[in-house]
Amino acid sequence: MTTSASHAPAHQTDRRPQRGAEHRVVVPAHIPMVALLGSQDVVLRAIEDGFTQVDVHARGNEIAVSGPPGDVELVSRLLDELIQVVEAGTALTPEVVTRSIRMLTAASAQRPADVLTFDILSNRGRTIRPKTPGQKHYVEAIDANTITFGLGPAGTGKTYLAMAKAVQALQAKQVNRIILTRPAVEAGERLGYLPGSLTEKIDPYLRPLYDALHDMIDQEQVPKLLENGTIEVAPLAFMRGRSLNNAFIILDEAQNTSTEQMKMFLTRLGFGSRMVITGDATQVDLPGNQTSGLRVVEDILAGVDDVEFCRLGSADVVRHRLVSDIIDAYARWDVITDGQRPGRQPQDHRPPQRRRR
């Protein structure tokens, strides 16, 4: 059987390959071609969409690639990487292909197979892995440092990957408990206006943490772990005065901490513990002109050993493709309009310089 990548209509002449080089990739016999090419050739079409001047044909367990020499080399490397991804048990999708192409064409130091097969946590037959080089660097930074900051927009996996590392550390008995916290601050709302008890008022603010937790731990175990204190989910105000030993501590939505709250949280660190602080400095909901503790902490901690700041960007977004485009569009708009909108102070997106004495 022969599978061809020439799916484009005849009138799209710009998709015709430029002959110049040809390479054949032999797929190992133990890998089903459907796993590599995708159902109804969706993976093959994704490769074609990424390299419009390359012609790709599959026959038996061989894939012939022809076209401009540079593109042929990239597609051949891409196929080798995808073969390793399939061998590791990761299902291929057009999104996986797109991310892999982005890594190869960006001359990233990370190989797609190394990123996409980097296991963090497995549960109920599902394995959590980073999906971009930035995410892999973030996970490695958590392993290498006592305090790690994950900075970036929504959808980059900041909280989710930190949660996976916390569950992994608990299962490996590297820590005795997990503590998940976030400030109870939202735009235009106050806890006092919400109905119910204090716990019921706080619960909606902590719901994203519960959701991630239920993805990683069996449903019947979560209530028990919460009840016996092995996992604690609480608002940031409940951290004051405590010393947190032998714990994996995650502070989520840290852009909504004041400078005083950030200092309070960081000084809760006890022996045998690890902290991950996540947030997006462009999404501050603090009232008035209050300064976000996340915006100044990097300058304050500059030069402090065992602390790392990891920045994730639109390339690390793993939600719908439009989310990356929206984030980039807002970033451009902010640069153009900073200081021009009524009541808005010009924003320096770089951390402020340390004041010299």
Instruction: Report the CATH number at residue 68.
Output: 3.30.1370.10
**Same structural domain, 108 and 33:** yes
pLDDT of 192 over the 90 cut: no
**Same structural domain, 139 and 240:** yes
**Same structural domain, 163 and 300:** yes
**Same structural domain, 165 and 308:** yes
Quote the domain boundaries for residue 274: 132-317+326-337
DSSP collapsed to 3 states, 203-256? HHHHHHHHHHHHHHCCCCHHHHHHHCCCEEEEEHHHHCCCCECCEEEEECCHHH
**Same structural domain, 138 and 106:** no
pLDDT tens digits along 309-339: 999 988 888 766 676 678 778 878 877 776 5
Confidence of residue 187 (pLDDT cuts 50, 70, 90): very low
pLDDT of 280 over the 60 cut: yes
In the chain, the number of structural domains is 2
Confidence of residue 9 (pLDDT cuts 50, 70, 90): very low
Average pLDDT on 39-45 reads 90
pLDDT of residue 161: 94
**Same structural domain, 154 and 82:** no
Is residue 6 situated within a structural domain?
Answer: no
Is residue 356 situated within a structural domain?
Answer: no
**What are residue 180's DSSP bridge partners?**
233, 250
**Same structural domain, 159 and 292:** yes
Is residue 91 situated within a structural domain?
Answer: yes
Count Cα neighbours of 51 within 13 Å in the Cβ-side half-sphere: 30
pLDDT of 17 over the 60 cut: no
Confidence of residue 3 (pLDDT cuts 50, 70, 90): very low
Average pLDDT on 243-248 reads 95
Instruction: Report the CATH number at residue 270.
Output: 3.40.50.300
Is residue 349 situated within a structural domain?
Answer: no
pLDDT tens digits along 112-154: 999 988 889 887 667 888 999 999 999 999 999 999 999 999 8
Is residue 46 situated within a structural domain?
Answer: yes
**Same structural domain, 196 and 60:** no
**Same structural domain, 111 and 141:** no
Average pLDDT on 23-44 reads 91
Task: Give the Cα separation of 142 and 231 in Å (integer).
Answer: 19
The whole model's pTM is what? 0.77
